[in-house]
Structure 1
Amino acid sequence: MSPAMIRHPALTVAGILVLLTLGWLAIGAPISLITEIAIYTLYGAGVNLLVGYTGLVPFGASVFFGSASYAAAFFILGGYGNDLAALVFSVLFSVVLALLIGALILRRKGLYFSLLTLAFSQIAFEVAFKWTAVTGGENGLQGVARSSFPSDLGFHAFVVATVTLGMALLWRIAHSPFGRTLQAVRDNEHRALSLGYDVYRIRLGGFVLTGGFVGYCGALLTLMLQGVYATNLNWQHAGDSLLMTVLGGVHHFLGPLWGAIAFILLEDRLSAFTENWWLVFAPILMLFALLSPEGMQGLAQRLVGGARWGRQRWTLVRNTIPARPAEIVPFESAASGIDPDQPILRVKGLSKQFGSLVTARDIDLEIRPFVLHSIIGPNGAGKTTFFNMLSGALAPTAGQILFEGRDITRLPMHVRARLGIGRSFQILSIFQNLSVFENVRIAVQAHRRGAGGLFADAHADAGINARTWSILDAVGLADQAAEPCLNLPHGAKRLLEIGITLAIDSKLLLLDEPLAGLAEADRIVVADLIKRLSEKHAVVLIEHDIDRVLAISDRVSVLHQGRMIADGRPVEVAKHPDVIAAYLGAAKDEAAPTATVERLVRAEAPALLEAKGLAAGYGGSTVLNGIDLTIHEGEAVALLGRNGVGKTTTLKTLSGTLAIAQGELLFGGRRLNGLKPYEINRLGISLVPEGRRLFPNLTVLENLQLATRPGGIGIEEVFTLFPRLSTRQKAKAENLSGGERQMVAIARALVVPSRLILLDEPFEGLAPAVVKEVMEALVKLRGKVAMVIVEHHAESVLPIVDRAYVLVNGQVAFAGEAAALEQDADLQARLLGVVQGEELEATLQRAAI
């Protein structure tokens, strides 16, 4: 026997059950208790196919367990066959039942799915308990003959043998193409859809498999008891198998074994002393839930294997990948045979409307093969909405999308993926709990064998493996193929996501901000990869790093407020007056404050807030890198930069809603590192977030009263600062205009004792007249409270602040007097707009070299 066979977990199950059997026989105890443990081990493992492998939590899998128990009893008592035939019939009955129930309830996810399974189980219980003429009601059905196994020991041996085979079958399914697809859906349903998988059908397949395994266990219990009772269908026992699985460890293949042993033995021993044995057992479950979420096997990993008290290694599948070939075949694009003179994608009159909000308006565009076509635009321009319509995540309100001449406007995402439209996402979208190799292999499999293959080894397909290695080599991750994704640095995760997008035989690549959150070295690597991919694919790129976009793109389109305002060569687009206005803004005399603003020189005032070398990011990414800021008492400071450079991230870091990765943050001389947001707020820092985030069902007055604390300004002072709110104080926040909501959000920050207010895009989406009103209120606050104002359009905020910081790719590129920046149009264009003039030509020449 090979070492791999010896280590097979099904043999571990057999060995443990045999040891328990020998121990029970040695003390002369009834063997039925160990038989029950064996049955519930497979029962729990079948449930864990949904919980651990698929990410669905059934509260009522007992509907299959109990219904199949009755099916076996009816089959035998009706004289249709012997006990072995009854087992087969029960499995088939349970599979059909699971198909019918699953087709209905899998339209829902999360808590609704869980409750629906429980509802079906309770319905079955009511029928079984009250239909006395057929089911025996409370007394159940007795006298079920077990002709093939007259002795308890003989039946026990049969149960142990078939449970071992069942566990071996589950282990094989977990490693099959279908089983690995279940795990991908568990980790990232949306990503699986974008690769071409029909997630609903995949989950239905897993649900049916669970029904089959659980149904077999229910029939075994009928034969063990030689009768059947409604108790197992009742809600009080519906979750027994789930409790066992959680107790043993849902992310471990052997978890159901350890859980069944502990649950049944504890129930047997404790119930011998007291009827209220749950009063003892429940605290045990609570301790495991609090101290070891990975269950008994997770606890063993810590105590025996020395695992850290953090995230532990899952053991749902073997921890290996296929051997790396001696020579990796170079990657070949599926788009190599496309006619370069014909557009691969045409968009005609594409529009998207959410109620009265229009996010895309009559967009016409052509995408050609072997061209790097970038789409840029300010915040809220509609870029991601446009991508969502192209990929099928959103249905357009109007217009048409043609891919290789075929109308795909109404096709779902997974069908478009199968046609060759691959997409990456602004927020990293990979399969976190799979290895690097498996992430790409799952994507390759989607177009080679789909979700088929229940019994084949997913890693035994040489063709899929070879393609996977080719893609990993193309994106520079072949050496990290065996790494779990959670261990990868952010730059490598971005490369992996591009690799996943390539793996579905993509002809068109839609890359949504692939440079987001990358350090400069990683930006160079990823940008170079994108440029090379555009030589073999059609590539559409959304990116906020304008300098790099202009340097690597063959064509650039600009969206602004849902409209296409420019399209052409980078050098032409960068000089387009509408593009310059979109990024730098235009003078708005009607929005200017009427009060004369005297800039204050506060460099000599005490430093209120000091940020030294701040670094922060999301999910391993580095958005801010070495930020130094100083805000003085009563000073108004603008924080400027193109979208995506880290302005909002800076405010979140200062307010404590985002953890500081490196550096130090001081406020009034006190170190803020590690403090919670509410602690920082109580020290005097208030955040006015983008989107306002009021309590919609409370009135203006109630929103303010809820926030009021001693030391803040009074409600009457709020109404003096914002007269409009005085007349609207009884209106619910959900009925306010955007400008009124912004006023309430600012006022809410003032009614607490704030020394520093952080305002994130306070003028976003407001009419000019309202902008003027909000600006005048901020002017009145100057000198009374320090302010940091994030604003997209520099010309709106520079006249009312004392100093300004400009961020470029997560670093401070300018720090100085607001007046100096306001008067330096060239500096604004370089830091805030698009590259122009000689600098643009130099950038393009560098890219050509």
Structure 2
Amino acid sequence: MKTRQLFRHPALWAALVLSGLTVLWLMLGAPVGLITQIAIYTLYGMGVNLLVGYTGLVPFGASVFFGCASYALAFFVLGRVATDVVALVLAVLFSLALALVLGALILRRKGLYFSLLTLACSQIAFEVAFKWTAVTGGENGLQGVQRPSFVSDLGFHLFTVASVVVGIALLWRIAHSPFGRALQAVRDNEQRARSLGYNVYLLRLGSFLLMAGFVGYAGALLTLLLQGVYANNLSWQHAGDALLMTVLGGVHHFLGPLWGAITFIIMENRLSAITENWWLIFAPILILFALLSPEGIQGLVQRVLRRERWTLTRNTIPPRPAVIAPYTSAAQAMDPDRPILETKKLSKRFGSLVTAHDIDFEVRPFVLHSIIGPNGAGKTTFYNMLTGVLPPSGGKVFFEGRDITRLPMHARARLGISRSFQILSVFPNLSVFENVRIAVQAQKIGARGLLNDAHGIDAINARSWSLLDAVGLADKAAAPCADLPHGAKRLLEIAVTLAIESKLLLLDEPLAGLAEADRIIVADLIRRLAKNHAVLLIEHDIDRVLAISDRISVLHQGRIIADGKPTEVANNPEVISAYLGAAKSADQVAPAIERQAGAATEALLEARGIAVGYGGSTVLSGVSLEVRKGEAVALLGRNGVGKTTALRALTGSLPLDAGTVSFAGTQLAKLRPFEINRLGISLVPEGRRLFPNLTVVENLQLAARPGGMNLEEIFQLFPRLRTRQAAKAENLSGGERQMVAIARALMVPSKLILLDEPFEGLAPAVVNEVMDALVKLRGQVAMVIVEHHAETVLPIVDRAYVLVNGQVAFAGDAATLEKDHALQARLLGVVHGENQNPPAHAAVV
């Protein structure tokens, strides 16, 4: 180890701090046992932080191992089974065995349930220890535990400090091993870790066992320190002491438990000498830390020094090689004439809802095969069945001729099926290099190697550099992933997806939220990857899909309705109908309305140059629109272009990155959603979002405010609701739920109602009922109607906006767009080849 690395090693700093405290206490003539206790609780806290900081699990009752190992050592020594030193080893083994039994059970749950289960185990152990007087001594505990190997308190103190420092060094090594790095991947993104081939349950069980071993050793040391053991360490009052110390010192800092233990124990010692109610003084200090410095004592120091970062691991990466080997695909040996993936009669049902029905499908090597389809077609559900996220309700999935229908996600990943996700899925708290290295490691060695340095495995490092270079991120390898722009994160996600020796790449909307320049880069990379892999792509940018794909399948209402070359698919009548809606029959008559002249009324809502996105992505860019009093406006566009995002921006639930929004002369940028609602903007969300256990009337009354419609007016608008007013929302049909959702918005004194896909999933007769109600509302309240099918909504609105890739491509009279079927096809449908871009048109912006 280099001198500089040794100087920065946290075990050295822990040794220096504990030694310094020892010298200070000896100089003061104070008992050294207090510093021994600090050393013990430091190791206790670091064992707990192996779960909290590294694995993402919060054990409220890790004390079950601390207390039980304390009793175990006492039993071994008092029963003359072993000497004190041997008893230490046996106590650790006992703690490991206990953890294996408890972990196998409680790790089936996570989050709050895991935390409470650990606390329950600790409390059960306390009840046994406190009441089984014949064995445990009950309230008096077990006393007279001799430690012949350490006659003096100073001798035992030195042994304790030395062994704790060794334990700290061991924990630091584990944190940097392949196993420790895999734990951090699970902490950051469990689903992504599974998709790379990690068995998350076994990783958590391993960390649980390690935690129990270190905590059990600390508990056994405490018995030797006190030369006795008592039940109070198992009680709920003390179960969270180590967790409290860890949080106080800094849960995202390796030495945080050391600073927390020093502060907690010294303050307890000093304050308890002043008053029995010392917690009344200490608790406000904890509250201040929680509010002012969530990263604890070490985080506070870093903030003062302006060097804020997690210190759970060193912030270095392996050296970059002088020459980076070019990326080579493990999939090049595939037989191009044999399908790599097949599904037969694949189906998925959620109760009565069918999202996939008898899908027969195949993917061939070296082909860029895209799946497109309208909203709700079942595309992501299909991907989730292919990758093992969801079990199918029927049918089978074959990979390279092998039935993988029942294989879990991590097992499929090890076969060579890798995927990206619709929402960016990387490891945000790891470096760019570490994101890729973790993925390469998953396929090469998994989490094996508890004491090896993960950055010392040359083959894995070289492969990681090759992947980063292939996606153009080698120069940003040392950067924290969280600091990357959105486009670079997409490239990183593709590199992570490639890293597991992928044969089949399933890419779920890789272009989502990218600026045009980034779209070109990522699309070109996908096209190149298809030359050496099988690529299955879901993407909403239909124009680009048609331009780069070799084959396209169209999914609609859970069925494959078209499959073939881009030209064939673009001209398929069923595909045209799915995207633009079925052509109207001769006997269909649009509702009779009198369209409002746009300039005749005063502007109510004005949005100017708004830009908005999610997590660094850009969904809308430079969008401007306006709605006038009493006007009905359609907001159209293919799925994924940003229609719902626009509504969220207008209602304040998504903050603007740029631009302004004003309503009735009031700027909305700094207002919260409920304040915007009280100004008169109401949202009818996609999916209705009613309160299922409340009746129709109760749902409406919750929203009622003076100035809104009353129940009688609602029942006149929606007669069906009068007969269903006592029914619970969960028992309503889809159409009835939509009526209640619209009615709820009208119970508020609304000036503008935003309706997100109000006709989605409704039968034609119900669509007519809802449409008639909207026609009656024309002029009374302004409306913005988001709808996928233009032919449904254009006849009942005054003006229309069409979004294409997050920008306004059309703004004008609804009648103009309604009559121009060619323009509708270009903006909203599926058009191939040279006609894929909108033509010059007076209304196109």
User: TM-score range with shorter-chain normalisation?
Assistant: over 0.9
Are 1:272 and 2:266 matched, yes or no? Answer: no
Tell me the distance in 2 between the aligned counterparts of 1:476 and 1:771: 50
C-alpha deviation, 1:753, in angstroms: 1.1
SS in 2 for 1:374: strand
C-alpha deviation, 1:594, in angstroms: 7.0
Aligned to 1:824: 820
SS in 2 for 1:622: coil
C-alpha deviation, 1:836, in angstroms: 4.3
Aligned to 1:21: 22
Tell me the distance in 2 between the aligned counterparts of 1:275 and 1:436: 51
SS in 1 for 2:349: strand
Paired letter, 1:570? P
Aligned to 1:847: none
Aligned to 1:494: 490
Aligned to 2:288: 287
Aligned to 1:846: none
1:368–1:247 distance in 2 versus 1, CA, 3 Å: same
Tell me the distance in 2 between the aligned counterparts of 1:771 and 1:840: 31
Are 1:424 and 2:420 matched, yes or no? Answer: yes
Contact 2:577 2:583 in 1 (8 A): no
Are 1:155 and 2:156 matched, yes or no? Answer: yes
1:838–1:59 distance in 2 versus 1, CA, 3 Å: closer
Tell me the distance in 2 between the aligned counterparts of 1:731 and 1:589: 36
C-alpha deviation, 1:595, in angstroms: 4.4
SS in 2 for 1:180: helix
SS in 2 for 1:190: helix
Contact 2:826 2:838 in 1 (8 A): no
Aligned to 2:371: 375
Question: What do the CA deviations read for 1:531-553 (whole angstroms, capped 9, x no partner)?
Answer: 00000000000000000000000
Aligned to 1:798: 794
Tell me the distance in 1 between the aligned counterparts of 2:96 and 2:631: 70
Aligned to 2:109: 108
C-alpha deviation, 1:621, in angstroms: 0.4
1:561-576 correspondence to structure 2 within 5 Å? 561-576=557-572
Aligned to 1:609: 605
Aligned to 2:842: none
SS in 2 for 1:49: helix
Q: Percent identity?
A: 75
Aligned to 1:306: 306
Count of aligned residue pairs for this structure pair: 838
Question: What do the CA deviations read for 1:638-679 (whole angstroms, capped 9, x no partner)?
Answer: 000000000000000001111111001111111111211001
Tell me the distance in 1 between the aligned counterparts of 2:416 and 2:51: 30
Aligned to 2:544: 548
Tell me the distance in 1 between the aligned counterparts of 2:718 and 2:684: 16
Aligned to 2:335: 339
C-alpha deviation, 1:842, in angstroms: 12
Among 686, 699, 702, the residue aligned to 1:703: 699
1:195-214 correspondence to structure 2 within 5 Å? 195-214=196-215
Paired letter, 1:49? L
SS in 2 for 1:527: helix
Aligned to 1:228: 229
Tell me the distance in 2 between the aligned counterparts of 1:198 and 1:410: 15
Question: What do the CA deviations read for 1:128-155 (whole angstroms, capped 9, x no partner)?
Answer: 1111111111111111111111000111
Tell me the distance in 2 between the aligned counterparts of 1:253 and 1:158: 22
Tell me the distance in 2 between the aligned counterparts of 1:489 and 1:699: 47
Tell me the distance in 1 between the aligned counterparts of 2:692 and 2:289: 39
Tell me the distance in 2 between the aligned counterparts of 1:788 and 1:297: 51
Are 1:74 and 2:70 matched, yes or no? Answer: no
C-alpha deviation, 1:331, in angstroms: 0.4
Paired letter, 1:146? R
Are 1:719 and 2:720 matched, yes or no? Answer: no
C-alpha deviation, 1:588, in angstroms: 5.0
The TM-score with structure 1 as length reference comes to 0.98
Paired letter, 1:398? G
SS in 2 for 1:154: helix
Contact 2:543 2:832 in 1 (8 A): no
SS in 1 for 2:675: helix
Are 1:90 and 2:86 matched, yes or no? Answer: no
1:183-198 correspondence to structure 2 within 5 Å? 183-198=184-199
Are 1:596 and 2:592 matched, yes or no? Answer: yes
**78-87 or 59-68, which moves further after superposition?**
78-87
C-alpha deviation, 1:604, in angstroms: 2.7
Aligned to 2:843: none
1:440-839 correspondence to structure 2 within 5 Å? 440-588=436-584, 595-836=591-832, 839=835
SS in 1 for 2:599: coil
Tell me the distance in 1 between the aligned counterparts of 2:445 and 2:302: 36
Tell me the distance in 1 between the aligned counterparts of 2:700 and 2:350: 30
Tell me the distance in 1 between the aligned counterparts of 2:590 and 2:407: 53
Are 1:59 and 2:60 matched, yes or no? Answer: yes
Tell me the distance in 2 between the aligned counterparts of 1:604 and 1:479: 57
Aligned to 1:179: 180
Tell me the distance in 1 between the aligned counterparts of 2:598 and 2:646: 22
Paired letter, 2:100? L
Tell me the distance in 1 between the aligned counterparts of 2:735 and 2:196: 42
Are 1:390 and 2:386 matched, yes or no? Answer: yes
| Structure 2: runs of 5+ lacking an equivalent | 840-845
Contact 1:510 1:540 in 2 (8 A): yes
Contact 1:594 1:776 in 2 (8 A): no
Question: What do the CA deviations read for 1:497-517 (whole angstroms, capped 9, x no partner)?
Answer: 111110000000000000001
C-alpha deviation, 1:37, in angstroms: 0.3
| Structure 1: runs of 5+ lacking an equivalent | 844-849
C-alpha deviation, 1:587, in angstroms: 3.5
Contact 2:250 2:257 in 1 (8 A): yes
Paired letter, 1:611? A
Contact 1:593 1:772 in 2 (8 A): no
Contact 2:566 2:832 in 1 (8 A): no
Tell me the distance in 1 between the aligned counterparts of 2:287 and 2:274: 21
Paired letter, 1:44? G
Q: CA RMSD in A?
A: 1.3
1:140–1:592 distance in 2 versus 1, CA, 3 Å: farther
Paired letter, 1:296? I
Tell me the distance in 2 between the aligned counterparts of 1:40 and 1:616: 48
Tell me the distance in 2 between the aligned counterparts of 1:453 and 1:395: 33
Aligned to 2:404: 408
C-alpha deviation, 1:840, in angstroms: 5.3
Tell me the distance in 2 between the aligned counterparts of 1:259 and 1:837: 65
C-alpha deviation, 1:286, in angstroms: 1.1
Contact 2:802 2:808 in 1 (8 A): yes
Paired letter, 1:206? S
Tell me the distance in 1 between the aligned counterparts of 2:178 and 2:286: 35
Tell me the distance in 2 between the aligned counterparts of 1:236 and 1:270: 18
Contact 2:546 2:833 in 1 (8 A): no
SS in 2 for 1:422: strand
Tell me the distance in 2 between the aligned counterparts of 1:593 and 1:519: 42
Contact 1:660 1:674 in 2 (8 A): no
Tell me the distance in 2 between the aligned counterparts of 1:145 and 1:836: 85
Tell me the distance in 1 between the aligned counterparts of 2:143 and 2:651: 68
Contact 1:591 1:771 in 2 (8 A): no
1:341–1:841 distance in 2 versus 1, CA, 3 Å: farther
Among 339, 348, 351, the residue aligned to 1:352: 348
SS in 2 for 1:168: helix
Paired letter, 1:733? A
Contact 1:591 1:768 in 2 (8 A): no
1:31–1:592 distance in 2 versus 1, CA, 3 Å: farther
SS in 2 for 1:388: helix
1:591–1:117 distance in 2 versus 1, CA, 3 Å: farther
Paired letter, 2:643? K
SS in 2 for 1:250: coil
